[in-house]
Amino acid sequence: MDYEPRSVRELLTEMMSRSSIQFDLAIASLATNDEFLAERIVEMEASIDNLTNQLLMHTALGIRSPKDAEELLPLFHVSRAVGAMSDVAGNISEIVLAGNNPFKERNTVFLFMHEFLDAVPVGEASCIVGSQEKDLDLQETLGIDIIAIRRGNQLLLGHAVDFENDDIIYIRGPLPNVIVFSELVRGHLSSLDDAKKLLTRLQMEEPQDDLRPYEAKLLRLIDFASLMLDLSFLVHLDPVRDYKSAITAFEDLVDRTLREYYKDLLEAYSEKVISESEGVGLLKLGTELEMMADYAFQLAFGPRKKKGSGELLLQDIMEETSEGVEVIPISITSPYVNKSIREAELETEISGEVFNVIALRRKGKIVPFPDEDLKLKPGDILIVKVYHDEEISEEVESSQVTNR
């Protein structure tokens, strides 16, 4: 492998952007049983491994003394955790490729995720043809984020891509928003304004909770592993507040949930609720999610700079990635006081982006994925996920598209 002269900032930014998208796409590949997508995710894993090696070479060339090594250690630690998260996404995708996807006949499980993922084909009459995501302001208008676009044998990442007829768009967002946007993409709604009006008056019944015991616990594992990773980055970005105790508590919760998940799986298999192939896929999925939580724990409790440019660099990098984590304190003069989380999410103009509340810190305790009707009080701290219009210059291309 040849050395490419690139900055630490550039390498880490690209690694973090790709790996966060990669995990979302891995879950989407399970939900849609999309083997093409799973293959592209495995290819992305190899590209992130290359970035990790480039970073190692770059840091090695910059070490001239023990002090230099100490300065660079936190950045190396972050890159190793990001690379490990990419490995988890690749391993999840391989469940689909091995034919062990337990959700190929029962993907309604994913309706109960904190954010719903779907794949939608662009219809010939769709008003979005010829437009780009960044031009439509989909995050602000419909609360929708586009993860990637499939075009023929390419997977396109980035926001500066013109939508074309027959594209497959991988999207995420709240279930009602995804349903309305899907109608727009298919050409069943004539304009973005029509979609906004429909979303405003849409009254959806909660999906009937017919989850099996192991399915409910699996969704908890997905949510908590993702939340732990976000909190682990906050340890480095927000040293004023203590997140380590919450991360420790969540890791214990993941371990307990995993044990209960395995027990439910054994009962489901013994009662012939799931097949041997499905059982293999579910066991592997639980193991990979636990590994993701473990990597988040290691990232939080690993080395970090207390002062100086290393910490500022990481903060800048997080602001430039496609997904970021931010902290929003609710002061007594905040416009969000006495408003619900749902209202705060709709009204915010944080960095010109739409945020998604993933946790609430109240009186020192962290509440994961709080109810959207919860009223905010002075002293509350929102932990939010922000989706930036950051460009990733990558086309993941396959020489052969297979549909097995």
At 8-20, the pLDDT tens digits run 777 777 887 787 7
Query: What one-character-per-residue DSSP string does 271-298 give?
Result: TTSS-HHHHHHHHHHHHHHHHHHHHHHH
User: What confidence score (pLDDT) does residue 304 get?
Assistant: 57
Q: Given pLDDT bands bounded at 50, 70 and 90, which one contains residue 24?
A: confident
CB neighbours of 37 closer than 8 A, spacing ≥ 6?
25, 28, 29, 93, 119, 150, 155, 170
Q: What is the pTM of this model?
A: 0.80
Examine the pLDDT at 21 and tell me if it is beyond 80.
yes
Structural domains of the chain sorted by starting position, each given as residue range(s) with its CATH number in brackets: 1-105 (1.20.58.220), 113-207 (3.30.70.1450), 213-304 (1.20.58.220), 323-387 (3.30.70.1450)
- Of 289-303, 305-319, 364-378, the range with the lowest mean pLDDT is 305-319
User: Mean pLDDT in the chain?
Assistant: 81
CA–CA dist 176, 184 (Å, integer): 13
Q: What is the pLDDT of residue 259?
A: 95
* For range 330-334, the mean pLDDT: 87
pLDDT of the residue at 210: 81
394-397 β-sheet, strand order: 116-121, 168-173, 145-151, 154-157, 394-397
**91-105, 122-136, 193-207, 378-392: lowest mean pLDDT where?**
378-392
Q: Which of 93-102, 306-315, 370-379 is predicted least confidently?
A: 306-315
